[in-house]
Structure 1
C-alpha cells in the first residue's frame, strides 16, 4: 500500500507540473460585496450559488446567479435564505438537491440560533422552486458543529465537524449512503486528517479524489492551503497540496470542481499590492475596491485533477 501511495503522489505531481495552471478572478459582478465565499454550479454551467457575507461575517446569506448566454446575471438571494446565517451551498450532481449549512433552529417557532447543522432543499426539476429547508438529521447532525457538505453521485456524504471523535480540531468526516439512509459518520484517516484543522471537502462525483482545506501544514504555503487525496480501493492516499499557483501564502479554501470543464473554483483572501506606499487616497481606494484586496473572493483555474 505504501508503494502504491508513493506512485499516486508522484503521478499527481507530474500531472500538475505538466499543466499550465493559471488563476483568475471568477466573478467580477461580485466585487461590490465585502466577502464572497463558497461556490457550487450545476452540470450545465448556468446556475451558481455562493455565500455573501458582511465584513464581520455575522451576516451570511446564500445567493444565486443565472447565466444568460455568456454573461452571469445580477445575484439574487436564494428563496430559502436571507433570515439566518446560511453558507456553504453544494448542489447534488443531479441538481435536484442543494445542501447548505445554517445556524437556524429546527422549528420556526423557536427564536435565536443554534449550532451549525447541515440542511437541504429539494425540487422536482431545475425549473421548479426549492422546497422549504429540511434538517438532514441524525446521525449526521449532532450537538456539535457540522459544516461544508459535499455529495458524491452515489449519495455518500463528506463534511467537516468539530465532533470530539475528530483526530484534530476539525476533521473531514464520511457517511455512507445505504438503503436510503446515512450510516454513522467516521473521521477519515490520518492521510487526510491531522491534529490541526481540516475543512471544506469537495468529493468528485465518482469518489476518485477528495479536495479539502488544511491549515498551517508544514508542506503548505502558509495559512490555509488546498490538498488532494486519491482513493485506492477503500483507502485514501496521503494528501498533497495543489500547485503554488492555486495555493498562496494567504488563506485558500472552499474548493469546488466543475468536472464538465475541469475548472477548479476556490475562495482566497490573497492580496495584491498590499505593500504599496499609497501616495494618495485615490490609490488607496483603488486597492480597497480591487479584486485581490484581502477579502474573500472566488477564483478559478483550469486543471485536470484526475489521476
Structure 2
C-alpha cells in the first residue's frame, strides 16, 4: 500500500465514472478482478512481468505471463517473489536486470520494512534487483545499497539504457507528498538521489517511466488540469538538458478514473497504464442471480485497477521522436 495513491483511489471512486478508452490488456488472465499494475516486458515482447494485489494493496506479488500463439498464458508468481510485499517490477532495456521494490529486510532475520505517513503505517519499500543468469533464470534478489533507500518510501523504479534508475519517493525535499528522483550508475554503485525538476513540489508526482534514451519521461500526477484524480503526464528533454513543462497526455491514456503507473512497451508508441476504469451499469439492469452478480463482480472493470494498452505515437512524433 502507498498512502497517496490509496487516497487518490478513494476520491476517484466517490467522484466520477469513466468511459472506456484504450485496450484492456490480457482480460481475465493479466487484468482480472484483483489489482494489477506496472507491466514491464522482455526485449522480445513475449514475456510480461506485472504486480498483482488485493484491493487494499496489503499483499503485493510480482507475476509473469508468456505470449504463446497470440495468447497470454495463465499468470504465475515470479521465481523471486511470493514471500514478501514485492511490487512495481521494471526490466532494464536490455532485459538483463529486473528492478523492483520490496518490504523484505535488508539483512536476513530482520523484521520487514515499515513506513509511516500521516499517522498510518504500511509496508516500507527499498530498491532491489535480480539479474538474468546464463541459463535464463533469475538470480537471488540483491539490495541496491545507497541513500535512495533512506526513509523506506521508494516506489516505481524505471531504468534508462545508460543504467540510471528513476523512481518516486517521499523524502525530506519532497514537499507534502511524493516527487521523482534519479540515481546515476557509477563505478562503485549509484550516486546520491537527485530530484527531477518538473515544477514546484506542491504537486504530487509518482510512477516515473523514463524513455530508454532519456528523451522524455512519463509519470502519474496532477499538474492542475487532471480530469480524474491522477492522470498521466509527459515531459520532454530540452536542448540544455532540462525537462520541459509537463503536458497531460491526450487521447486514451487518461480517463475520468484513476490512471497511474505508465510503462513503455517494446514497440514505438506503445504505452501501458494502470486504471480503475469501470464498465457502466445501466438501470434497470438485467435481473441478477447470486451467481451472475458474483461472477460480474469478480471480473475486470469492477472498480479494481487493470492494465490498459494505449498508443502515444502521435504525441511523440509531434515532438520530433519517431522511433
Alpha-carbon distance in structure 1 between the residues aligned to 2:244 and 2:266 = 21
**Alignment equivalent of 1:219, drawn from 197, 217, 225:** 225
- Superposed CA deviations along residues 39-79 of structure 1, whole A, max 9, x for unmatched, are 10012111110011112211110011111231211111001
Determine the structure 2 residue equivalent to 1:4: none
The 5 A counterparts of 1:94-243 are 94-114=94-114, 115-125=124-134, 127-191=135-199, 194-215=201-222, 217-232=223-238, 233-243=240-250
Secondary structure of 1:140's aligned partner: helix
CA drift at 1:302: 2.3
Alpha-carbon distance in structure 1 between the residues aligned to 2:112 and 2:270 = 39
Q: Is the 8 A contact 1:274 1:293 kept in 2?
A: no
CA drift at 1:180: 5.0
Determine the structure 2 residue equivalent to 1:272: 279
Alpha-carbon distance in structure 1 between the residues aligned to 2:281 and 2:101 = 32
Q: TM-score, normalised by structure 2?
A: 0.82
CA drift at 1:290: 4.2
Determine the structure 1 residue equivalent to 2:269: 262
Unaligned runs of 5+ in 2: 1-20, 115-123
- Superposed CA deviations along residues 220-241 of structure 1, whole A, max 9, x for unmatched, are 1121100000001310001011
Determine the structure 2 residue equivalent to 1:68: 68
Over the aligned positions, Cα root-mean-square deviation in angstroms equals 2.1
Determine the structure 2 residue equivalent to 1:303: 312
Q: Is the 8 A contact 1:144 1:163 kept in 2?
A: no
Alpha-carbon distance in structure 2 between the residues aligned to 1:263 and 1:43 = 13
CA drift at 1:153: 0.1
Determine the structure 2 residue equivalent to 1:27: 26
| Number of equivalenced pairs | 284
Question: Does 2:10 align with 1:36?
Answer: no
Q: TM-score, normalised by structure 1?
A: 0.86
Alpha-carbon distance in structure 2 between the residues aligned to 1:248 and 1:32 = 19
Alpha-carbon distance in structure 2 between the residues aligned to 1:276 and 1:113 = 46
Q: Is the 8 A contact 2:33 2:304 kept in 1?
A: no
Determine the structure 1 residue equivalent to 2:302: 293
CA drift at 1:300: 0.2
Determine the structure 2 residue equivalent to 1:250: 257
Alpha-carbon distance in structure 2 between the residues aligned to 1:138 and 1:276 = 55
Alpha-carbon distance in structure 2 between the residues aligned to 1:229 and 1:274 = 36
Secondary structure of 1:245's aligned partner: helix
- Superposed CA deviations along residues 90-119 of structure 1, whole A, max 9, x for unmatched, are 000110100001011112312344321111
